[in-house]
Amino acid sequence: MAEGEPAGAAGCLEKAEALKSQANEYFKVKDYENAVKFYSDAIELNPDNAVYYGNRSLAYLRTECYGYALSDATKAIELDKKYIKGYYRRATSNMALGKFKAALRDYETVVKVKPNDKDAKLKYQECNKIVKQKAFERAIASDEHKRSVVDSLDIESMTIEDEYIGPKMEDGKVTVQFMTDLMQWYKDQKKLHRKFAYQILVQTKEILAKLPSLVETVLEEKDKITICGDTHGQFYDMMNIFDLNGLPSENNPYIFNGDFVDRGSFSVEVILTLFGFKLLYPTHFHLLRGNHETDNMNQIYGFEGEVKAKYTAQMFELFSEVFQWLPLAHCINGKVLIMHGGLFSEDGITLEDIRKIDRNRQPPDSGPMCDLLWSDPQPQNGRSVSKRGVSCQFGPDVTNKFLEENHLDYIIRSHEVKPEGYEVTHNGKCITVFSAPNYCDQMGNKGAYIHLRGSDLKPQFHQFPAVPHPNVKPMAYANSLLQMGMM
């Protein structure tokens, strides 16, 4: 103990270290919630330790709280300018938020301090490549109005090789038989011929482009609809939903509430299956856009890499165009509003405002379109800064006011992993549903889907566990910049 230092202060520091060690143990077993709690307790006892913030930042990264992770990494650097892991964490947080230039600055700092660190050099080069690519894309976009990929495709002349024995569309059309064959083909880990993949994409774009930003449907008294949350490239778990709940049909309609792709390494299989059903049952099978149906996310979390590995860069560009036409919200019987993220950063937004959103673009950093894809509920009243670093968090009072002003009963949203697969908050007015069980092969959560009946619109929850999948790890196609060491 330093001379003159009170025993109490030393005791506090000792206790803080013990809490950090406990947090590290929770981190090791992937219990990130408790890791955050114990790091926070350590910080309370010793708020001047950069490592505590750096470690908590990593736990926040694991739970996708990128805004909090960014804030902690910044605090760690403020406390200790030489704390290299702080720069790493901050760079990763900025990468996750699509802020590539900011990430590049931090990677540059790491490389200067550790010129022989191969990992740091690799991350710097990779990030630099993305920044240059983005600049190039902006230059092209401002030069001319971007031509659609569809205009440069000649699908008719694509030949189907004799050795291809997979599913075939009939006269360029999706049929029930095609979908049955396709799902089995995918279960056997085989690839759909590019000609049919392109046909599905072009036709899906045509259908989606005719839809409004807010889709409105009527559920008759005896009708039932199934609402699913995030599927994130977990194809075998999605097949399990269809096993448990029946295949989509005109008598068994579905809404899939965004985040179909990224993270899970069977995103191509998930999305082409969903698009196939959209073509088969255009008015009974509904798809809404999630925050992962966007270029920035796809570039980092695996979908772009997966499409390029399984097909081509050109096909990814076409996926990007199709995603821009996905509707942003769905209203059932004028009473239940469904969106991927949640409510808005400001009061007074109406259903009419949602109808008016020009959605055919990459989402902006703020405003109603961004909020629909990114926001999250919070237990306390009011609004606060988002833990994700995008949009906001909204309280029960915000939900109540929005519902009253728009004559709605409640909202259903997705966007967040829940241990039980669903969660009911805001006095029953805000429901979260998440349909990717054991998310990323590590969260141990259940998946869930919701049944709504026209007679009473009361949600009925159905939970399901994860099923085995082939030995391809999640994030297999993700950007190497996201692969980080632990402490």
Closest CA to 182 of 248, 251, 232, 230: 248
Listed in sequence order, the residues at least 6 apart from 271 whose beta carbon sits closer than 8 Å to its beta carbon are 260, 261, 319
Q: Are 109 and 78 in contact (CB under 8 A)?
A: no
Q: On the CB side of 202, how many CA atoms lie within 13 Å of its CA? A: 18
Q: Is 292 a catalytic residue?
A: yes
Residues in the chain, how many? 487
- Please, what sign has the CA dihedral across residues 340, 66, 480, 483? negative
Spacing of C-alpha 111 from chain mean position: 30
Closest CA to 203 of 280, 117, 135, 129: 280
CA dihedral 250, 253, 259, 263 (to 10 degrees): -80
Q: Which residues of 101-125 are buried (b: 16+ CB within 10 A; e: fewer)?
A: ebbbebbbbbbeeeeeeeebeebbe
Q: d(Cα 51, Cα 238) in Å, to the nearest integer? A: 40
Tokens of 238: 């999605």
The residue annotated as part of the active site, out of 232, 292, 330, 426, is 292
Strand 329-332, strand 285-287: pairing: unpaired
Residue 71 dihedral angles phi and psi, to the nearest 5°: -65, -45
Spacing of C-alpha 486 from chain mean position: 23
Q: Are 406 and 337 in contact (CB under 8 A)?
A: yes
Q: d(Cα 233, Cα 269) in Å, to the nearest integer? A: 8
Q: Please count the other Cβ atoms lying within 10 Å of the Cβ belonging to residue 193.
A: 17
Q: d(Cα 297, Cα 303) in Å, to the nearest integer? A: 8
Q: Which residues are catalytic?
A: 292
